[in-house]
Structure 1
Amino acid sequence: MDLNEIRHQAIVNVDKTVNELIQKGEQDYNQYDYCLASHNLYTFLPDSTEEKHQHIYRTFLRNKLLSTNNDFYYTFPYWDMMKEIKRERFEHNLPAIFAIYHFCLGFLYAMVLIRENVDFVVVAGFDGDAMEKIKKSYAEQFKMAKEIYPNSTSRMEVVSTMSKTLFVDLMSKVRNGYSILWAVDWAVSYSDSNVTATVNFLNHELLVPKAMAIFSSLLRVPIIPLSAHYNESYVPVCHFVDIIPPVLSMKDKDKITEVMQKLYDILADNVTKHPEQWQGWFFIHRLLKDRGHKATNFPIPQNMAACKYKLSTIAKLFKIEDNWFIMNVRTGALLEMNLEAAQKILHHEADRLSNEEKRLMYKNGMFVE
């Protein structure tokens, strides 16, 4: 069996597991992740269908499982793929901030830098135990990368965005020739205008952290955006986008915002081309400038006793631990339900809900006649 067949078989096996996970999810009515993704898809891609949402969710589960599958990992043509990214193309810009996005395998971008003998610091948005897990995961993958590229001289470290000494640490590393690997689209919600910039993304305004543009300015290093996706053979494709020079003064807020807008324009372009491959559908709502769900004022029938109650296809019931919720994934309206009400809906006995529960369901577009 050649490497392509091994990779294909790994994908087939993972798809079987995905089907089992989805069936289990439907049985347990635990669809929280799917609801978030579906709501964000309706928000940013309003013409998308539920079938498209389900396809994207399946693809997300597939890619997540493949990221831990060694058979899949080891079968890539690491020396031949992503040839566009060669050190000689960016060497005169080093050290730099390599701006990455949540597409493909998380360690893919690091693999490219290791192959090209670049020393780099990974900036991760975690702290505490989560940060320790991230460090351990990167260390294991770095070891694997060194086995694939045994002559690589790359060194790697991992730092937290939440570190109080982040700037000092990064400056020290940059002075020693290290570049920085930093995800643009990691969604941590901020409301302070001093740390955020307003950018347009797929016809919506986002409040995004502008730390990357500021650090580029302070450290006097350019930003090199790397865009990635899987091709038809499920082999990663990673390529350069235009290199962004550092803003001369971090006090120039308009220029800082322009940099962040360029980075999100690149993201929007890749999301438009490969919407099923972006992991951001599960967290992009955190960055919306207007985070409230759309106003809902659906008509309530005059004679509720004469109505037959049917759950709308855009109303999704799910459970988080012991708490039940129902969401209108198109508007984002969310209602908490007690176990008794949830059981009535699960058993298609919505007629037995209280009048107040029925009114709330109608008002939020969760019932259809």
Structure 2
Amino acid sequence: MLTAKQLYKQELENCRKHFEQVDLEKEQGYLMKFTTFSATVGNLLPEIPRDNHATMFSQLLLQQVLTTFDQQCLTAGDLVKQRGAHKMLKKEAGPRIYCTYHLGSYRLLTSVLFRQGVDCVLLVGSNMNRTQGDGMAEHIEGLRKKHGLTNVFRVVETGSPSAGLTVLRELKAGRSLIVYVDGSPETAPGASDESQFLSVRFGNRRVKTRKGVGYLSHATGIPIVPVVSYRQPDMTNVLHCLKSIKPIVQSDREIYCQEAMQQLYDAFWPFLNQYPEQWEGWNYIHSFLEPEMPKNGISRRGGFRPAFNEERYS
């Protein structure tokens, strides 16, 4: 009789086989999506040969299929390998602000925390809520019924006018927040909300990032816990908890926000370098990239300039 882990990997293999039957280049919008992906990879990780971009993009699309399957599988969270300061994922750790990224099977963090009895508030963009919200709600309800869980789960949309106050109240009520700090397409900076963003280093470039996470941590005194999700070559999902970022009482809020967000992006960078084909952020990070300053000191307009791939089309 097969174990739960063997059955899980068998289903992942079935997902992979179905995926490989699809002719990606004939799929609607493929060329535009791949062009954006390739240009952004070239800007952030120029050391990756452009000839590798098509394979990376295919791997990313497969990763998205596997991530969707994981959300439908109630046992996927039980098979996750936890590394680092994983005691922070338990209810006994108290309320925390869990900051994660769209890397690997990133939705499993919510599943694991809820399974541990943690009262969770998931902060997501409106588009993500529309496309994934029902699936996550079904997953949570399935866990609730299977394990007799009674803890709280709530979704708050970042675009809601009352989102900040709602999350602040939830944190003060002892609930934990889960937030994706690497952004999403609908949370990119606009002309009217520039004051909500700050600039941080991201590799050799700089990106705009919302500072709300740092503000909430400083205002409530609740530590930030960076958590990185990734999938190993043997298909095992890993949640790696990094060192908590703790606010200092009576410290300057703006300085704390800047330092906390920089630490979050610094923590993510080595994982992105190791698993670049697992990051969904390639599809939208160009909206957050600051214009690069060339050597002559004249700034380009826009977040990046796509480079024509002469090798691919020669």
- TM (norm. structure 1) is 0.71
Looking at structure 1, the residues matched to 79 and 35 of structure 2 have their Cα atoms a distance apart, in angstroms, of 39
Q: CA deviation at 1:182?
A: 0.6
Question: 1:145 — aligned with what?
Answer: 143
Distance 1:55 1:75, change over 3 A: farther
In the alignment, does 2:240 pair up with 1:266?
no
Q: Name the % identity.
A: 23
Unaligned stretches of 5+ residues in structure 2? 297-303
- The residue type paired with residue 189 of structure 1 is A
Paired residues for 1:312-351 under 5 Å: 331-332=305-306
In the alignment, does 2:188 pair up with 1:189?
yes
Tell me if the contact between 1:294 and 1:332 (Cα under 8 Å) persists in the aligned partners: no
Question: 2:13 — aligned with what?
Answer: 12
User: Which deviates the most, 77-86 or 165-174?
Assistant: 77-86
Looking at structure 2, the residues matched to 26 and 79 of structure 1 have their Cα atoms a distance apart, in angstroms, of 35
Tell me if the contact between 1:10 and 1:71 (Cα under 8 Å) persists in the aligned partners: no
Which one scores higher on RCO, CA 8 angstroms, separation ≥ 6? Answer: 2
3-state SS, counterpart of residue 164 of structure 1 = coil
The CA RMSD measured in Å over matched residues stands at 3.4
Looking at structure 2, the residues matched to 71 and 367 of structure 1 have their Cα atoms a distance apart, in angstroms, of 36
Looking at structure 1, the residues matched to 83 and 206 of structure 2 have their Cα atoms a distance apart, in angstroms, of 35
Looking at structure 2, the residues matched to 59 and 368 of structure 1 have their Cα atoms a distance apart, in angstroms, of 21
Question: 1:42 — aligned with what?
Answer: 42
- The residue type paired with residue 206 of structure 1 is V
Question: 2:221 — aligned with what?
Answer: 220
Looking at structure 2, the residues matched to 267 and 69 of structure 1 have their Cα atoms a distance apart, in angstroms, of 24
Number of equivalent positions = 301
Looking at structure 2, the residues matched to 235 and 258 of structure 1 have their Cα atoms a distance apart, in angstroms, of 33
Distance 1:201 1:90, change over 3 A: farther
Tell me if the contact between 1:120 and 1:181 (Cα under 8 Å) persists in the aligned partners: yes
Q: CA deviation at 1:147?
A: 4.8
Looking at structure 2, the residues matched to 28 and 122 of structure 1 have their Cα atoms a distance apart, in angstroms, of 31
Looking at structure 1, the residues matched to 27 and 64 of structure 2 have their Cα atoms a distance apart, in angstroms, of 21
3-state SS, counterpart of residue 126 of structure 2 = coil
Q: CA deviation at 1:31?
A: 1.4
- The residue type paired with residue 163 of structure 1 is S
Looking at structure 2, the residues matched to 176 and 4 of structure 1 have their Cα atoms a distance apart, in angstroms, of 37
Distance 1:263 1:71, change over 3 A: closer
- The residue type paired with residue 214 of structure 1 is Y
3-state SS, counterpart of residue 225 of structure 1 = strand
3-state SS, counterpart of residue 30 of structure 2 = coil
Tell me if the contact between 2:119 and 2:152 (Cα under 8 Å) persists in the aligned partners: yes
Looking at structure 2, the residues matched to 251 and 77 of structure 1 have their Cα atoms a distance apart, in angstroms, of 38
User: Which deviates the most, 286-295 or 54-63?
Assistant: 286-295
Kindly provide the CA deviation profile for residues 181-226 of structure 1, in whole angstroms up to 9, marking residues without a partner as x.
1111124321554211111111101111111111211222111111
- The residue type paired with residue 262 of structure 1 is Q
Looking at structure 2, the residues matched to 117 and 70 of structure 1 have their Cα atoms a distance apart, in angstroms, of 20
Question: 1:116 — aligned with what?
Answer: 116
Q: CA deviation at 1:15?
A: 2.5
Distance 1:198 1:43, change over 3 A: same
Question: 2:60 — aligned with what?
Answer: 60
Question: 2:152 — aligned with what?
Answer: 155
Kindly provide the CA deviation profile for residues 270-321 of structure 1, in whole angstroms up to 9, marking residues without a partner as x.
10121121111111111111179999xxxxxxxxxxxxxxxxxxxxxxxxxx
- The residue type paired with residue 182 of structure 1 is V
Looking at structure 2, the residues matched to 70 and 89 of structure 1 have their Cα atoms a distance apart, in angstroms, of 21
Kindly provide the CA deviation profile for residues 205-253 of structure 1, in whole angstroms up to 9, marking residues without a partner as x.
1111111111211222111111121123211111210101125468542
Unaligned stretches of 5+ residues in structure 1? 296-329, 335-363
Kindly provide the CA deviation profile for residues 106-162 of structure 1, in whole angstroms up to 9, marking residues without a partner as x.
4200122112211010001116xx6455432221110233355x0434210001111
User: Which deviates the most, 166-175 or 63-72?
Assistant: 63-72
